């Protein structure tokens, strides 16, 4: 099981489960149980570090604190050492029950966000919201477009000629802020409530000249209906964590055998 650790975390209490070689839960272990082994190792290190166990209390952090969870079934609480948390890296944990030969492995992951990016008193959400409020979109592609709108030809394969969306960071407090940890997501709606599809691309380039390249395959674009739809630009910081940039753009899908002037505008009011 992976345990995500937030930026700046300390005094972390980990729920761990101890199993024997037959994968059955081991009950009744204490910090003094002979043969109980609990160790950690950061990725990149050569050796495992043994955690010296002490008597723990449910819901309270003591470094090395070990206490059986009241829920039973082989679960325990472990007061994980602060020295084993390396932000921006992964720390592996292994446990071996007394008189057993197999280890049980878990790992911790620390969010790769520096304290400089998230000032004291702010959260990821407030920081990204501030960033996006001043971010401008500039679309560059071969077809004629207006402003922040996007236009695709249905059925075309954009692998060789992707659509480029530039990110103008000049309005940010730090115009050279690196956005390469983010992805730009285009969400398309036929109305305020009906979502049609979403495509995403990594933000790349040097700070001050950053962009996302969209190259949906023909297998995807051939299913799109010709017309004009609502388009939301979003930033994705992590899976399923979005921040909307704007909602007043349009997404046009042009059938290859249809005159663009014949397309019915279905954009919601």
Residue 13: which residues within 8 A CB-CB, separation 6 or more? 59, 60, 61, 65, 77, 78, 79, 80
Neighbouring-strand partners of residue 246: 233
> Helix, strand, coil: what percent of the chain each, to 5?
5, 40, 50
What pLDDT, in 10s, does the model give residues 94-111? 999 999 999 988 887 754
Q: What percent of the chain has pLDDT over 70?
A: 68
**What average pLDDT does the chain have?**
76
Signed CA dihedral, 134, 139, 140, 146: sign only: negative
Q: In the structure encoding, which two tokens stand for residue 50, read together?
A: 């043994």
CA distance 168 to 149: 15
- The pLDDT score that the predictor gives to residue 66 is 96
Higher pLDDT, 53 or 44: 53
Q: In the structure encoding, which two tokens stand for residue 33, read together?
A: 């149980």
Nearest to 177 by CA among 113, 111, 89: 113
What pLDDT, in 10s, does the model give residues 150-191? 888 888 878 877 888 877 777 666 677 777 878 888 888 887
Q: Which ranges in 150-246 belong to alpha helices (H)?
A: 218-221
- The pLDDT score that the predictor gives to residue 84 is 85
Strands (E), 45-182: 49-50, 54-55, 65-68, 75-79, 90-96, 104-110, 136-140, 150-153, 163-168
Q: What is the mean pLDDT of residues 57-74?
A: 90
CA distance 70 to 49: 28
Residue found by looking up tokens 């002490």 in the block: 54
Nearest to 207 by CA among 183, 233, 175, 181: 175
Nearest to 256 by CA among 150, 151, 154, 144: 154
Q: What is the mean pLDDT of residues 42-63?
A: 91
Within 10 A of 61 (CB to CB), how many other CB atoms are there? 17
What are the helix and strand counts (H, E) for the chain?
2, 17
- The pLDDT score that the predictor gives to residue 2 is 61
Residue 197 backbone dihedrals phi, psi, to 5 degrees:
-165, 170
**Could you tell me if 230 and 246 are in contact, meaning their C-beta atoms sit under 8 angstroms apart?**
no
Give the confidence band of 65 by pLDDT, cuts at 50, 70, 90: very high
Residue 150 backbone dihedrals phi, psi, to 5 degrees:
-125, 145
What pLDDT, in 10s, does the model give residues 81-94? 988 887 657 788 99
- The pLDDT score that the predictor gives to residue 54 is 96
């Amino acid at each position: 099981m992976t345990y995500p650790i937030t930026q700046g975390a300390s005094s972390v209490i980990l729920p761990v489960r101890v199993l024997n070689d037959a994968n059955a839960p081991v009950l009744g272990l204490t910090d003094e149980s002979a043969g109980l082994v609990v160790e950690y190792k950061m990725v990149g290190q050569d050796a495992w570090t043994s955690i010296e166990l002490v008597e723990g209390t449910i819901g309270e952090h003591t470094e090395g604190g070990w206490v059986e969870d009241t829920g039973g079934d082989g679960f325990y609480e472990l007061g994980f050492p602060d020295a084993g948390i390396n932000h921006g890296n992964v720390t592996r944990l292994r446990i071996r029950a007394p008189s057993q030969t197999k280890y049980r492995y878990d790992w911790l992951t620390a969010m790769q966000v520096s304290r400089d990016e998230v000032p004291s008193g702010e959260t990821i959400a407030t920081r990204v919201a501030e960033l996006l409020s001043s971010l401008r979109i500039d679309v560059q592609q071969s077809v004629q477009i207006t402003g922040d709108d996007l236009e695709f030809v249905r059925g075309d394969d954009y692998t060789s000629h992707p659509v480029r969306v530039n990110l103008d960071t000049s309005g940010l407090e730090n115009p050279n802020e690196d956005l390469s940890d983010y992805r730009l997501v285009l969400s398309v709606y036929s109305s305020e409530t009906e979502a049609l599809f979403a495509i995403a691309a990594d933000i790349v380039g040097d700070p001050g000249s950053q962009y996302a390249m969209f190259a949906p395959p023909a297998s995807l674009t051939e299913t799109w209906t010709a017309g004009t739809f609502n388009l939301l630009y979003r930033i994705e910081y992590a899976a399923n964590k979005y921040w909307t940039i704007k909602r007043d753009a349009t997404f046009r899908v042009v059938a290859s055998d249809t005159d663009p002037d014949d397309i019915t505008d279905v954009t919601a009011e």
